[in-house]
């Protein structure tokens, strides 16, 4: 083997998704294979290690793909876990270890809920990150100093790299291959694994999950009303009347309860319904727009593209089942 050894450590904290751990190992092995051709003499190779806390609370190396090599990891990755709560109670030994590594110049990376341990260690304060779209609100609420961009698949902030949903370990892995071995090796690795190298957004996979547990009965009454046919024709005056409040009072209380202006909330509800119609019916896009409350199909297309990240027609081609 020629070239320098570039170590990527994977942290096996409690609840970690082993499929991602082994999948990352396979992805980096493929990248090494792509980098092994004679004309790439001198290109580095990726070494994969696993790290875990022992009974004494010391984080130690428990696996090494190249045990004969010396050195320490240049990057440590927190893979995803199926239970985000695992990151909330991560042993202090892990948090202290991560803080020491980061302080010594090691790049830290996370996938999905793996961002929570980094935030708990105070390492994400003032930084821009991403996580699974369904966890973004909770991450932002628990750690208000962190700027969360749930629409992004990967956020490379230099010494901190975060990736979105559970399967975004492929995106993170390819981003690290690009950084350590170059874009050509990353492209060849992606081609061999038959995965997309350039996924930038997870908005098209996300869904709007409104808050119903805020305790404001008047606002809740309007939310339930909007989930039905009122969605298509609701106006600010109609919503305020339904709540039994003046418009200014309704605006203030609705935003406090849901985190959104009534117009923004209605857009989310309408686009959610439009996605269902695009996925499961053969209605034209103009018909879908009309059914969810847009009399101007052009305006519908603009709102849909802004919230989902792709145009309605592209969304149907990717996720629609009625035409298959």
Query: Do 14 and 95 lie in a common domain?
Result: yes
Query: Do 198 and 235 lie in a common domain?
Result: no
Residue 88 pLDDT: 63
Query: What CATH number corresponds to the domain at position 27?
Result: 3.40.50.880
Query: Do 201 and 221 lie in a common domain?
Result: no
Final residue in a domain of this structure, among 205, 227, 260: 205
Query: Do 125 and 228 lie in a common domain?
Result: no
Catalytic residue ranges: 112
Residue 1 pLDDT: 42
Query: Do 141 and 275 lie in a common domain?
Result: no
Sequence-ordered strand ranges (E) for 65-153: 75-78, 107-111, 128-129, 147-148
**Structural domain tally of the chain?**
2
Query: Do 148 and 107 lie in a common domain?
Result: yes
Cα–Cα distance, 54 to 111 (Å, whole number): 23
Query: Do 137 and 157 lie in a common domain?
Result: yes
Three-class secondary structure of residue 61 per DSSP: strand
Query: Do 96 and 223 lie in a common domain?
Result: no
Closest CA to 28 of 10, 46, 50, 5: 46
Which parts of the chain register pLDDT below 50? 1, 323
Global pTM reads 0.70
Residue 84 pLDDT: 66
Range of the domain at 135: 5-205
Long-range contacts of 317-320 (CB under 8 A, 24+ apart): 318/204, 319/204, 319/275, 319/278, 319/279, 320/278, 320/279, 320/280
């Amino acid at each position: 083997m020629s070239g320098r050894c570039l170590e990527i450590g994977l942290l096996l904290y409690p609840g970690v998704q082993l499929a991602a751990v082994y999948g990352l190992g396979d992805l980096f092995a493929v990248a090494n294979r792509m980098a092994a051709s004679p004309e790439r003499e001198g290109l580095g190779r990726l070494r994969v290690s696993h790290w875990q806390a022992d009974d004494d609370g010391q984080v130690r190396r428990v696996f090494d793909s190249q045990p004969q090599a010396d050195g320490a990891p240049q990057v440590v990755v927190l893979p995803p876990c199926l239970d985000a709560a695992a990151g909330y109670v991560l042993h202090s030994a892990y948090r202290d270890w991560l803080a020491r590594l980061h302080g010594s110049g090691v790049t830290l990376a996370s996938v999905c809920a793996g961002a929570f341990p980094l935030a708990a260690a105070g390492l994400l304060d003032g930084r821009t990150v991403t996580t699974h779209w369904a966890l973004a609100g909770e991450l932002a609420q628990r750690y208000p100093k962190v700027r969360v961009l749930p629409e992004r698949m990967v956020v490379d902030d230099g010494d901190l790299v975060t990736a979105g949903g559970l399967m975004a370990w492929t995106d993170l892995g390819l981003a690290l291959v690009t950084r350590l071995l170059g874009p050509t090796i990353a492209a060849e690795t992606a081609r061999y694994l038959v995965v997309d190298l350039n996924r930038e957004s997870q908005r098209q996979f996300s869904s709007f999950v409104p808050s119903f547990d805020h305790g404001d009965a008047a606002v809740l009454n309007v939310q339930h009303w909007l989930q039905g046919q009122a969605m298509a024709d609701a106006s600010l005056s109609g919503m305020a009347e339904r709540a039994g409040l003046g418009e200014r009072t309704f605006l203030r209380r609705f935003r406090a309860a849901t985190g959104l202006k009534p117009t923004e909330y209605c857009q989310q509800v309408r686009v959610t319904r439009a996605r269902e119609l695009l996925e499961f019916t053969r209605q034209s896009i103009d018909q879908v727009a009309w059914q969810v409350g847009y009399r101007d199909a052009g305006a519908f297309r603009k709102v849909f593209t802004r919230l989902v990240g792709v145009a309605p027609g592209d969304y149907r081609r990717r996720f629609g089942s009625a035409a298959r």
